[in-house]
A and B are shown apart, each in its own frame.
Chain A
Amino acid sequence: MAQPYAKKDDDRDDEAEYSPFLGIEKGAVLQEARVFNDPQLDPRRCSQVITKLLYLLNQGETFTKVEATEVFFAVTKLFQSKDIGLRRMVYLIIKELSPSADEVIIVTSSLMKDMNSKTDMYRANAIRVLCRITDGTLLTQIERYLKQAIVDKNPVVASAALVSGIHLLQTNPEIVKRWSNEVQEAVQSRAALVQFHALALLHQIRQNDRLAVSKLVTSLTRGTVRSPLAQCLLIRYTSQVIRESGQNIQTGDRPFYDYLESCLRHKAEMVIFEAARAITNLSGVTSRELTPAITVLQLFLSSSKPVLRFAAVRTLNKVAMTHPMAVTNCNIDMESLISDQNRSIATLAITTLLKTGNESSVDRLMKQITNFMSDIADEFKIVVVEAIRSLCLKFPLKYRTLMNFLSNILREEGGFEYKKAIVDSIVILIRDIPDAKESGLFHLCEFIEDCEFTYLSSQILHFLGNEGPKTSDPSKYIRYIYNRVILENATVRANAVSTLAKFGAMVDSLKPRIFVLLRRCLFDSDDEVRDRATLYLNTLGGDGSVVETDKDVKNFLFGSLDVPLANLETSLKNYEPSEEPFDIDAVPKEVKSQPLAEKKAPGKKPAGLGAPPTGPTSTIDTYEKLLSSISEFSSFGQLFKSSVPVELTEAETEYAVNVVKHIYDGNVVFQFNCTNTIPEQLLENVTVIMDATEAEEFSEVTSKPLRSLPYDSAGQTFVVFEKPVGVPAVGKFSNMLKFIVKEVDPTTGEAEDDGVEDEYQLEDLEVVPADYILKVGVSNFRNAWESMGPDNERVDEYGLGVRESLAEAVNAVINILGLQPCEGTEVVPSNSRSHTCLLSGVFIGNVKVLVRLSFGIDGPKQVAMKLAVRSEDQAVSDAIHEIIASG
């Protein structure tokens, strides 16, 4: 049909680059668009011009407002033509031009006419165009036709209306929701895709009504679903219902699991895969439930289609993170995928194998990977390197093989990111596996001999300076380091000088030789290198006498900077050159910015392949970092638990304060996060006075005031209490925020010199038993329960009185205990009369606790509970019972 456009004056010499749009220009095409206004329309020519316009838009050309409007008005004239092909192009260009509201009115009547035309094609397309460009007011006018269209017997028309409904739901939900009867009828349609679209729309209309979604799923899983796409959709909705309803403990069966499992035998691969993926994603999935899904995925692994192999290996890779044992059956198929043409598949296969492999297979695996590494891109190599690092930490005995592998790939070609990943891995292995230290350092030394990245050389030299002197034979590293001084650029030379000095300071026997080397550096061409050499020679006593390096010098060389760099930077900027030297002790040591994890915006997910899920550990990590940076707290030992922040002020008050309870074995640290919301005030010396009269077992040790809290910033002040070691002491504290207020001139931002002392009442704070319990889940509760044994079991029954519902009672008990619900048992199916809930956790003193709660509810909402506790310590079992008895 559409023929080559006649070229105007080109002598087409049939070269390969010939294109019908060669030399096309926007201006010329806009001129051509005048044919739309001809009284005698030539449909073919008009189609061609529209195609050219679409081509321009497709190539990224944009029309100005005026141009677009002009074209749009010209196009509307084309509704006069009866040519179907032209009309179709008109629809397309109208959608692409996305006209403004006042322009839409021009075509509305034409489109509405088409919507009621006898030609199905007109109807379907007019609906789609009109819904795309329409706004709310117009929608009420055409609503009647749309409702009709949804139940139209032509599937194309029905689908067009339904899909448009899905888009309109985003902007005009209240209108679309009125169509649910028609949509419901369309769900029963015999046309495959109509059912798919209707199901999608119906679910979106009802997505906030759990019961309705559950009913929808129940009826459809029993009925017939015609298209694979609709089936996939139904699987997604089913897993949503499963997630929200929880598991039935009595039979151990999950509602709808049978349906998912039956989908594994569907004839469409799309559906099989969707079902397998849904099963692997079930929360607290058991290995029995996983098996059929893994089996079909395993079959996919040997498919001839790359897409299928990729889908299967990617899903298995995710499963391997949580259930490595379940995936081991696929290892043989997985190994053959290492040589897959598609590198994404090969990489996923390898990282999966690295996760599921056992100690004995490591050597074989490494051989296969070595061949594979040479021909994949850097980004994949990094994924592999990271997987190998975690494998090595898992099997420390295999460090030799893995370290050799890392050093081999370190010698090969590669970009910065890749090399950095390898170096980081080696550094981590050296840190965590003492046996690997010597060989690891040696590999790093070899690497810097021929390293093109200044950053990496510097990093390694620094690391060598810290670790090298502690090895059995430090002298062997000197050669590598001094080579840097001879061969490298200034930055690396300066670093090498520092590293040499560290060896000199730590190893007395090397001192004379180090001095010789450092003295040679005094003649370096670079200032920094000479300065460093001079400095170190003087501090180490390089005047010839060999003396013990004294403590101050060691501190100076190795001690970390105990002030935050940002603070140091501000202080240095504010320092005006004068007689008085800059005093580093005057730099404030508080960390200004709030380093809490909650501040982090929920950004993009970590890059695709094999990236581990970021767990809740990150919060505790930041706390740990924060606390360990404060010297007073370093003697408390390992941080057991940090609570979630508890608000101590109402929202929108002058000062916002929340508290985090950090539990140590014998201490509790209260971290008050304060925010000043008054622009005219600067707060200084902020502390919290805690009254512990209702907390007898606690005694205050110290507190750490916040030096200053300007407007709209957050800071922390700490109060430390001592408590009996290992005992879950509880109590209630009343709190008072105490500070000095200084008025701030809002125009200049300068604070007045003298302030007034003030107080601010905060809400009370309680230390509860749950603070001493860590939420730690177990994957198989029954096994854990059996292996714990009945020795320290305590069982008792409690009446919980009248409760609103069973679910409410279950939640209340879980919250009081602060344990981790297992296997999805925290969810109570609605209307059930009894429920069993499984909890697990770790009590202070690292005692594992397992709890089995059986609830029952009777007519007048009286709830009774049977509590069975097993733990490693009888006292802890008793303590759990006490929590309930007193709660």
Chain B
Amino acid sequence: MANFGTYQESCPSIKNILLLDSEGKRVAIKYYSDDWPTLNAKLAFEKSVFTKTQKTNARTEAEIAMLDNNIIVYKFVQDLHFFVTGGDDENELILSTVLQGFFDAVALLLRSNVDKREALENLDLILLCLDEIVDGGMVLETDAHVIAGKVASHSMDAGAPLSEQTISQALATAREHLTRSLLKAAGGFHVFAFHYGYRLFFAASRPTHTQQVIVCAGLWNSV
């Protein structure tokens, strides 16, 4: 499906995106190419990717490996392992942009509580997220905030009262703007957004510091 002729004339294409747990079991996966036609081929690929990367430290920066003429970029957090695979002619940095988009979008959607349990409990969000990043091998969107925004707007309850809906919309926009400015200011800080009922505040913290620096950005009360 994602085979558009040879490199240089072709669009960047993604062969698969994998989200595995700390034992190499599937949390969510999506294949876009026919390179692995059967379930067994897929599982074998996942196993070899997992064992090959297991011992590396891909927690601060995305790492990269080659396996059977494929390039795999990957990043780990807690007990979750994120992988993006492309052909060996693919621009490595495009693959890593896709990975980063997926990774950050998941972090936003799970409100920085990124672990296997949380991911499974919000599997619908993860699957929607995958659906918004790549379509049949073509990159759809790489900006984590836009991806998370699209997924979040879907999960909005239509039945919810109007006032609440506007608040959540405000939340989404505000969150996006604020995280951007915080990211710029704090460069590399992790940004969390919490939301309790109708109140929300943002916190930026650097995980290496025991002490958390909390920046209160705003406090809204219900109308």
Contacts and interface: CB of A to CB of B under 8 A. Distances in A.
Interface in B1-19: 1, 4-5, 7-12
B42 A60 contact: yes
B138 interface: yes
Interface string A285-313: 00000000000000000001111101100
Interface string B7-33: 111111000000000000010110000
A247 interface: no
Contacts of B95: 307
A609 B66 contact: yes
Contact of B124 (A51, A204, A306): A51
Interface residues of B, number: 60
Interface stretch (A102-110, A268-276, A835-843): A268-276
B61 A305 contact: yes
B153 A121 contact: yes
B135 A21 contact: no
Nearest to A607: B69
A342 B10 CA distance: 29
Interface in B178-202: none
Interface in A313-349: 314, 341-342, 344
Contact of A84 (B26, B65, B158): B158
B217 interface: no
Interface string A1-42: 111110000000000001111000000000000000000000
Contact of B93 (A43, A95, A307): A307
Interface string A598-634: 0000001101110000000000000000000000000
A389 interface: no
Contacts, number: 173
A84 B159 CA distance: 9
B26 A89 contact: no
A59 to B, nearest CB: 6
B110 to A, nearest CB: 11
Contact of B123 (A54, A88, A273): A54
Contact of A2 (B9, B91, B93, B155): B155
Interface residues of A, number: 76
User: DSSP majority for the B interface?
Assistant: mixed
Contact of B64 (A89, A240, A307): A307
A237 B124 contact: no
B61 A159 contact: no
B141 interface: yes
A252 interface: no
B34 interface: no
Contact of A233 (B11, B136, B157): B11
Given A163-B135, A310-B92, A2 B154 contact: no
A60 B28 CA distance: 11
Contacts of A229: 12, 94, 139, 142
Contact of B120 (A20, A62, A207): A20
B173 interface: no
Interface in A187-241: 193, 196-197, 200, 203-204, 207, 228-229, 232-233, 236-237, 239-240
Given A43-B159, A92-B128, A269-B93, A240 B121 contact: no
Interface in A153-170: 156, 159-160, 163-164, 166-167, 170
Nearest to A166: B138
B104 interface: no
A239 B8 contact: yes
B9 A236 contact: yes
A85 interface: yes
Contacts of B1: 167, 170
B39 to A, nearest CB: 5
Given A197-B138, A308-B93, A204 B4 contact: yes
Contacts of A277: 91
A55 interface: yes
A15 to B, nearest CB: 11
A417 interface: no
A257 to B, nearest CB: 16
7 contacts: A47-B124, A60-B43, A84-B156, A163-B138, A200-B138, A229-B139, A273-B91
| Shortest Cβ-Cβ A-B pairs, 3 listed | A311-B92, A88-B154, A270-B93
Interface of A: 1-5, 18-21, 43, 47, 50-51, 54-55, 58-60, 62, 82-85, 88-89, 92, 95, 121, 128, 132, 156, 159-160, 163-164, 166-167, 170, 193, 196-197, 200, 203-204, 207, 228-229, 232-233, 236-237, 239-240, 269-270, 273-274, 277-278, 281, 304-308, 310-311, 314, 341-342, 344, 604-605, 607-609
